Structure 1
Amino acid sequence: MQDVVQDGQDQVVPGPCDPTYGCPDPTEIVCIETLKVYDFCFQVERRENVCFNLPHACAGARPTDQVVCNVIGVECRELSRSADPENPGFADVTLLVTVTLEFKIVRNDTLVCRFEDSFSFLKTVLLCAPEGTEVQCESTGSRCGPCVVVNGRVCCHVDVCLLIQSKAWVKLLVPSYGFCVPAPCVAIPKPPLVCPPDNLFPPQCTPLVDRA
């Protein structure tokens, strides 16, 4: 956070606080509406031997084919919430986690077929999730593989990195320095226009030394 002078007055702008003097005192306390995160945790789920039936388009797949698998989506749906009587505000939250995968079956660098499928599992976590909060999850860094074609199915190992949070819209009192004032936009400088361009005409042919 920095102080700049504008029209003879100091103005606070976003940025780190001065390492020696710190941040200036706020000028007011304001009430803002924001999405507050009550709890935030992560969990790695490893699912082994998750198998999917091959669709009709992949009926010719062979056990020797290469299977490329990618996690393309992770969704969570809250099924139940049981309050912890010993810890007010905390609850065991059970989620139905659905993982969507994309498969590509390749033979000798040639794509045999491509398809998508999904599987689901239950996950229970202890969260600070008082009444009125919403629990949601997202995934980052999830991966799929190795995979193999066996008996008309594709079987894989899947690692799912779940980020689970409880949140709610709240109104908070926060120290403030006033409203944000925009700064002039910065544009990437463009190189000067070359006029006329160097390639205005086709290049001249090199004379032949010996035409005989």
Structure 2
Amino acid sequence: MSDGVRVQQVDQVVPGPCDPVYGCPDPTEIVCIETVKVYDFCFQTDRRENVCFPIPAAFQGILLSDLVTCEIVQVTCQEVSREEDPNNPGFADVTLLVTVTMQFTIRRNDSVVAQFEDSFGFLKTVLLCAPEGTVIQCESAGSRCGPCVIINGQVCCEVDLCLLIQSKALVKLLVPAYGFCVPAPCVTLPKPPLVCPPENLFPPQCVPPTT
């Protein structure tokens, strides 16, 4: 009985976790695929304190008591330099220019008196497995800003960044495979049964008036 179950599983290979007892079946072929290979992948948190931005001259009469909130609208990274590590072949010190764009909203008595965007940048260096031919990708995940205060015509905030950094390249790999994927029937939401005939097929009958 156990062998029969195992044979059935091999004949019907589908995406999903392997059997906890038998594991994955043996591959049926080795194929060459073109894909993006990740050579290194890391995360780094960064806190920037007292990041200040001038309030645009178009907004006059801003008070120190006004409430300031901020939102990070975009984080971009650009590779500036890459210095190979002579002691570790393939590794390099990668320097990135991280640019953070923020939106500020200033309120007074629940009314918006000013709203503007500004950005700041800083350099970040990380050690990555990044041989020649790899591309560096950096993105933000879960970043936040605030609290913010108004000081001398500026908005000053605290910014916390969570950066995901990876080196990758388009490569061709030999991969064990089970053949081509076979589609399964699509799952659809159940529909209520059709009422036939409908209850309101005809107009309601008049009731004779009472005298």
Distance 1:196 1:117 in 2: 63
Residue identity in the other structure for 2:175: V
What corresponds to 1:176 in structure 2?
177
What corresponds to 1:85 in structure 2?
86
Aligned counterparts, 1:44-59, within 5 A: 44-59=45-60
Q: Is the 8 A contact 1:44 1:161 kept in 2?
A: yes
Q: Is the 8 A contact 1:91 1:128 kept in 2?
A: yes
What corresponds to 1:150 in structure 2?
151
Distance 2:111 2:103 in 1: 17
What corresponds to 2:136 in structure 1?
135
Distance 1:57 1:85 in 2: 53
Alignment partner of 1:127: what SS? strand
Deviations 1:36-83 (A, max 9, x none): 010011111111100111123432321111111111111010011000
Distance 1:144 1:4 in 2: 56
Which structure 2 residue ranges, 5 or more long, are not aligned?
A: 205-211
Query: Residues 16 and 103 of structure 1: is their aligned pair in 2 closer, same or farther, counting only changes over 3 Å?
Result: same
Deviations 1:1-39 (A, max 9, x none): x9896xxx9221111111111111000000001100100
Distance 1:154 1:139 in 2: 23
Which structure 1 residue ranges, 5 or more long, are not aligned?
A: 202-212
Alignment partner of 2:12: what SS? strand
Aligned counterparts, 1:52-131, within 5 A: 52-131=53-132
Q: Is the 8 A contact 1:31 1:172 kept in 2?
A: yes
Q: Is the 8 A contact 1:3 1:12 kept in 2?
A: no
How far 1:196 moved relative to its partner? 5.4
Q: Is the 8 A contact 1:71 1:99 kept in 2?
A: yes
Alignment partner of 1:42: what SS? strand
Distance 1:121 1:139 in 2: 14
Q: Is the 8 A contact 1:59 1:152 kept in 2?
A: no
Distance 2:199 2:59 in 1: 58
Distance 1:87 1:42 in 2: 21
How far 1:107 moved relative to its partner? 1.4
Aligned counterparts, 1:25-36, within 5 A: 25-36=26-37
Alignment partner of 2:32: what SS? strand
Distance 1:191 1:57 in 2: 59
Alignment partner of 2:116: what SS? strand
Distance 2:59 2:191 in 1: 51
TM-score by length of 1: 0.86
Distance 1:144 1:156 in 2: 7
Name the count of aligned residue pairs: 196
Distance 1:193 1:149 in 2: 64
Identity of aligned pairs, percent? 72
Greater fraction strand: 1
Choose 33-42 or 188-197, whichever is displaced more: 188-197
TM-score by length of 2: 0.86
